[in-house]
Amino acid sequence: MITVKLITCQERQETVINKKEDKTMNKKKLTTAALLAVITTGLAATVLTPVVAAELQHKADEKTMEQTQTKQDYIKVSDDALMTMRNVGGARLAIFDGAPDRAQIYVDAAVTRASATLRDADKYALDIKAAKNDGEKYVPFNAGLSVAETLVPNKENMKHISRANGQMHKGQTKKAVETLKVNGIDVALSTELLPIKAAKVEIEDAAKLIGDGKYYQANLVLKSVEDSVITEVFNTDAIPKTADHS
């Protein structure tokens, strides 16, 4: 049995209006997402430490990394912490691929980097609430700028965002943030933090498990390290001091 529903002129008009509103909202969301991408991409060229896949990369990669690394204006990102996490991921992938020898190399590299991270932790670890509660040292290894999702794109603020993007590509992060803030565009800094004291212990445990041929257990421990990472978002005017108050 086929039922036919008759649509009145008023209902048809309401449907058209709703479709137009949905289209406008989707367009606004896409534009805002594009703005977020512009800001984050610009920052990646100046604040994020250059990344290499693993310790096994050619030495030239590390040399390039040192040459292109720029001074962080807002948060000091630990290269050792970043490489710790890269090697943890490499070890897990090697286990998944059934390459235990490669997994051992990656996890040993992670142990070395984790030790270096802990040794210099006070230079990077942020004085956040979680650290005060559990006595951990939360070391930043990744960071990015973002604009408020409530931003309504228009020609004027797009002009300022474009200018800020150019400044960030030149390494002028503070100037870029000021360009946005002076023109009424709210900016926040998001950073990923590694609880290095606990992470170091777990990575060392994983290295021993891999050495003993207990790959499944090692993978779970390494996953625990990845899961322990926390993300904090700060106003650019209220970024916590490091443990050594720098």
pLDDT the model gives residue 213: 97
Residue 245 falls within a domain, yes or no? no
Residue 119 falls within a domain, yes or no? yes
C-alpha span between 80 and 153 (Å, rounded): 38
Domain count, the chain: 1
Instruction: Output the average pLDDT for the chain.
Output: 76
Residue 241 falls within a domain, yes or no? no
66-121 pLDDT, tens digit per residue, is 333 334 567 889 999 999 999 999 999 999 999 999 999 999 999 999 999 999 99
Residue 35 falls within a domain, yes or no? yes
Residue 147 falls within a domain, yes or no? yes
Residue 107 falls within a domain, yes or no? yes
C-alpha span between 220 and 171 (Å, rounded): 39
Residue 200 falls within a domain, yes or no? yes
133-185 pLDDT, tens digit per residue, is 788 999 999 988 777 666 777 888 888 888 888 887 887 878 888 888 888 88
With b meaning 16 or more CB within 10 Å and e meaning fewer, what string describes 125-159?
A: bbebeebeeeebbbbbbbbbbbbeeebebeeebee
Instruction: Report residue 228 as tokens.
Output: 């322990």
CATH number of the domain residue 173 falls in: 1.20.120.1940
pLDDT the model gives residue 189: 86
pLDDT the model gives residue 149: 66
C-alpha span between 246 and 243 (Å, rounded): 8
110-138 pLDDT, tens digit per residue, is 999 999 999 999 999 998 887 777 889 99
pLDDT the model gives residue 62: 47
What is the model's pTM? Answer: 0.67
Residue 246 falls within a domain, yes or no? no
Q: Which domain holds residue 146?
A: 9-235
Q: What is the phi/psi pair of residue 143, to 5°?
A: -155, 155
